[in-house]
Structure 1
Amino acid sequence: MTSLVIAEHDNASIKGATFNTVTAAAKCGGDVHVLVSGSGAVKAAEAAAQIAGVAKVIHVDGAQFEHGLAENVAAQVLAIASSYSHILFPATASGKNIAPRVAAKLDVAQISDITKVDSPDTFERPIYAGNAIATVQSADSVKVLTVRTTAFDPAPSSGGSAPVENVPGAADAGKSKFVGQEIAKSDRPELTAAKIVVSGGRALGSNEKFHEVLEPLADKLGAAVGASRAAVDVGYAPNDLQVGQTGKIVAPQLYIACGISGAIQHLAGMKDSKVIVAINKDPEAPIFSVADYGLEADLFNAVPELIATL
């Protein structure tokens, strides 16, 4: 029994979600192998070999893998899939794009967003926006899984000494091509990896107020900035900041919700946070039901006072 983790990387380093996925793979039993497919990704493969608990790294080099196009990565996974009992992807945009293609080609049922491994063939995953947990048992010979990374501790990035095996790459599928990308640069932590998240809702009233009120608090705390879907829908924040069922799932040490009512879709994305602080002037706001600390106040007064105190 051997598990294969599909690494996410930028051809130079391994992205954080991979470490959590390695932890989930280790709980499936047997050895853990990591696939690093990229272009000039030797450093990423070497970094993967250092992850504690990894038995082998499979390194595939080719121009067709440079940008992680789903069609090409899926073809590479399929080329080596017969050697594995479990194939695991982080439940990120990339993992969710590749995993269904692999599962369909293998004619198996994908098990999405797992939060716990009960046994090699039994897994837990949230359903109904996280209000219930389904226990799913699979009889498929190969289990294709996406992993909710916030549910698993990251494997140590050092301490391992896995061998790196170079294998030939699958041919370019020819079904898509990389055209370009625009990368937003920020000095703040990445939302899903941040230890502190400050999020705002529609109550902030405008794009200008969203930035004017939240960013000084985030800067003071060294936090990432998030937003509710309502705030994103009215244009206060870009959709890559959205936290919730249809956005990003976060579980920081501290989550501060400013002017967020607490719709079930938002709670599904942040209720696993270690400490939740809610600031809202509506005493009936659902966010108070999950908050460890609730402040019934006008956020336009409370947040500046909090910043001044800090």
Structure 2
Amino acid sequence: MKKVLVLAETRDGQLRNVSLEALAAAQVLAEGGEVVAALFGPDSGAHAATLGHHGAGTVYVADHAALAQYTPDAYVQALKQLIDHVSPDAVVLGHTAIGRDVAPRVAARLGYGLISDVTALEPGPVFTRPIYAGKAFQKRKFSDGMIMITIRPNNIPAAAADTGKTATVVPFDVEIKDLRSIVKEVVRKTSGKVDLSEAKIIVSGGRGVKSADGFKPLYELAEVLGAAVGASRGACDADYCDYSMQIGQTGKVVTPDLYIACGISGAIQHLAGMSNSKVIVAINKDPEAPIFQVADYGIVGDLFEVVPLLTAEFKKVLV
């Protein structure tokens, strides 16, 4: 019987879906044992019930004021203290900006191994993760000691909510000191109403959009589909959009159910960030564009003609 700790994340007061996916991974690792979760920050305890519905038996809430906004020092101190208190056999985090930052810091301080960017796990436990910009996958496992992993969003399905399950909420006092940085204000530029890293559908534009105004048809299509809007590095470098929208090896790595690439040639750096999407639709005037080699469906044509037609057809079905 094992005990597994999950660090749940919130954003703008909402529980991130990757936290529920992390609970599903934790249940596999626990092998029938205990799954506990942690929430950091004031008012975060409001999400304890949801974590309980998805498998957490105990939820530790650290509402220290220093955890209101993410800072590496504060989160590392809080997580390390919680691990010392709980003594878990495994720790699971989302492979998000926070998870990628916190996990290696804590692992280094505690002398643990870390397997990051996990896309699947099986009994053993054996963890699958992509390598070489998504061209291959490797299976890894720990020889001994505590397990620490980060999981890629949208790869491990979250368990269905069971409202009959409840979690025991335990306030956890942490000592935060010697902070080297303090967040006074967060100015966030986003790709739209939907979180790009967790979006089920993404409409993405490349240099083929030609200008910032060229993204307007993509936003219209995204609005109909309830999708997020992303971009290639080429579009960002050309100042067509903000870098917060960048998908690729040096941007966000996404795994949506549907990825619609508009005017994106398909450079390897971009493919590294989206090639594991479940269904890829490519729209490009160049029939030889590399994006068609990974696409499930390809449309050879002008995106400014094709995208409005798609929007009109989806409106008939969805609106």
Structure 2 length normalisation: TM-score? Answer: 0.89
**Alpha-carbon offset, residue 189 of structure 1:** 1.9
SS in structure 2 opposite 1:177? coil
| Bigger shift: residues 2-11 or 99-108 | 2-11
Alignment of 1:79-228 (within 5 A): 79-82=81-84, 83-159=87-163, 160-184=165-189, 188-209=193-214, 211-228=215-232
Match of 2:248 in 1: 244
Match of 2:69 in 1: 67
**Alpha-carbon offset, residue 187 of structure 1:** 5.9
| Bigger shift: residues 163-172 or 8-17 | 8-17
Alignment of 1:42-61 (within 5 A): 42-50=45-53, 52-61=54-63
**Alpha-carbon offset, residue 11 of structure 1:** 8.0
Count of aligned positions: 308
Matched, 1:31 2:34: yes
Instruction: Report if the CA contact (8 A) 1:109-1:140 is conserved.
Output: no
| Separation (CA, whole Å) in 2 of partners of 1:38 and 1:294 | 45
Q: Deviations over 1:89-137 (max 9, x none)?
A: 1001011111111011011222110112233543111100111111122
**Alpha-carbon offset, residue 221 of structure 1:** 2.5
With over 3 angstroms needed to count, the CA separation of the structure-2 counterparts of 1:152 and 1:236, relative to structure 1, is same
| Separation (CA, whole Å) in 2 of partners of 1:10 and 1:299 | 33
Instruction: Report if the CA contact (8 A) 1:199-1:225 is conserved.
Output: yes
Structure 1 length normalisation: TM-score? Answer: 0.91
**Alpha-carbon offset, residue 185 of structure 1:** 6.7
**Alpha-carbon offset, residue 149 of structure 1:** 1.8
| Separation (CA, whole Å) in 1 of partners of 2:282 and 2:26 | 35
SS in structure 1 opposite 2:70? coil
- Residue type matched to 1:3 in 2? V
SS in structure 2 opposite 1:54? coil
Q: Any unmatched runs of 5+ in structure 1?
A: none
- Residue type matched to 1:155 in 2? A
With over 3 angstroms needed to count, the CA separation of the structure-2 counterparts of 1:167 and 1:303, relative to structure 1, is closer
| Separation (CA, whole Å) in 2 of partners of 1:292 and 1:55 | 41
Instruction: Report if the CA contact (8 A) 2:192-2:228 is conserved.
Output: no
With over 3 angstroms needed to count, the CA separation of the structure-2 counterparts of 1:115 and 1:268, relative to structure 1, is same
Q: Deviations over 1:163-205 (max 9, x none)?
A: 1112221223422211211134776322223232111111111
| Separation (CA, whole Å) in 2 of partners of 1:272 and 1:11 | 28
SS in structure 2 opposite 1:28? helix
Match of 2:22 in 1: 21
| Separation (CA, whole Å) in 2 of partners of 1:307 and 1:263 | 26
Match of 2:43 in 1: 40
| Bigger shift: residues 1-10 or 212-221 | 212-221
- Residue type matched to 2:62 in 1? V
| Separation (CA, whole Å) in 2 of partners of 1:15 and 1:198 | 21
| Separation (CA, whole Å) in 2 of partners of 1:170 and 1:121 | 34
Q: Any unmatched runs of 5+ in structure 2?
A: 315-319
- Residue type matched to 1:63 in 2? A
